[in-house]
């Protein structure tokens, strides 16, 4: 988990606005935050969002391996690119074009629906999950 400290105040989120002695800064990137005297520290505890992203990436990596074992070459990056640009039915059609077996499509679709439900509880959208 990351911690952001500025003027003795520590938060777990990067501020959207940074009030400096010379005025306000917005938007605030991590680089800007540090440039204006902020300190970023990190411990090994994952935030709920980081834990979710780890879970989905681990699932996608295992899926890539399972597909590879079945002789189907779809990488995690290819899947994420497709997910960024395709609606659900188009993504399923894409998988069919890649010769993914129908039973695997059904299983993956169900797992993705479960993961998306978890994401929505964290206020993450599909676009948040599969952003560049």
- Ordered per-residue pLDDT tens for the chain, 132 residues: 889 999 989 998 999 999 888 889 899 999 999 999 999 998 888 889 989 999 999 999 999 999 999 999 999 999 999 999 998 899 999 999 999 999 999 999 999 999 999 999 999 999 999 987
Is omega for the bond preceding 27 within 30 degrees of 0, making it cis? yes
- DSSP string across 2-31: EEEEETTEEESS--SSEEETTEEE-S--HH
Residue 32: predicted pLDDT: 92
Is residue 69 within a helix (H) or strand (E), and if so which, with residue range? Answer: helix 48-69
Residue 124: predicted pLDDT: 95
Residue 122: predicted pLDDT: 95
Residue 53: predicted pLDDT: 94
Which residues is 39 bridged to in the sheet? 5
Residue 46: predicted pLDDT: 84
User: Cα 87–111–47 angle (5° rounding)?
Assistant: 95
């Amino acid at each position: 988990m990351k911690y952001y400290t500025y003027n003795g105040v520590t938060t777990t989120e990067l501020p959207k606005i940074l009030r400096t002695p010379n005025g306000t800064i917005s938007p605030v990137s991590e680089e800007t935050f540090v440039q204006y005297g902020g300190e970023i520290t990190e411990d090994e505890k994952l935030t709920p969002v980081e834990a979710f992203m780890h879970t989905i990436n681990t699932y996608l990596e295992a899926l890539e391996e399972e597909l590879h074992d079945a002789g189907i070459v779809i990488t995690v990056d290819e899947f994420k690119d497709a997910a960024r640009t395709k609606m659900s039915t188009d993504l399923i059609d894409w998988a069919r074009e890649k010769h993914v077996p129908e039973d695997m499509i059904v299983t993956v679709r169900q797992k993705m629906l479960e993961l998306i439900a978890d994401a929505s509880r964290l206020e993450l959208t599909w676009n948040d999950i599969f952003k560049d």
